[in-house]
Copies of this chain bind each other. A is one copy, B any other.
Amino acid sequence: MTGGAEARDDAIFKRSSCPITNGLNIFGDKWTLLVIRDLMLGKCRYADFISSPENIASNILADRLKRLEAAGLVSRQAYQQKPVRYEYVLTEKGNDLKPILEAISRWGRRHCPGTDVFRPVDRFKLR
């Protein structure tokens, strides 16, 4: 274990009366929102996330996916048996993060010149 998801489930579920604090307890770290971004861009398999330009380490990715599942933002579905393999999809709770990502993207576009447009796929158009 990398001091991973299990060790910090308490952090995920910690409760404050501030909605921002609660949100950040779940996704306020360096990697989680990038994984969410990838999910919104239509990525759903391990290798998809690994191949993103930010170069997330495999152990960190595994940890974040577990945590996101524990927090109910992501669910996984087996797409093959023997060996069983999963793909990851946003739940409604996870999909509701879209306005946040869009707001971040808009800020980045305005204040960090030369950045691209963020075009989340409509998950209900997928598959």
Contacts and interface: CB of A to CB of B under 8 A. Distances in A.
Interface residues of chain A: helix, strand, loop or mixed (majority): helix
Given A34-B24, A111-B96, A105 B29 contact: no
Given A20-B34, A21-B54, A24-B30, A106 B99 contact: yes
Interface residues of A, number: 39
Contact of A18 (B20, B102, B106, B115): B115
B103 A99 contact: yes
Interface of A: 15-24, 28-30, 33-34, 37, 53-54, 93, 96-97, 99-112, 114-116, 118
6 contacts: A15-B114, A19-B105, A19-B115, A19-B118, A21-B54, A28-B30
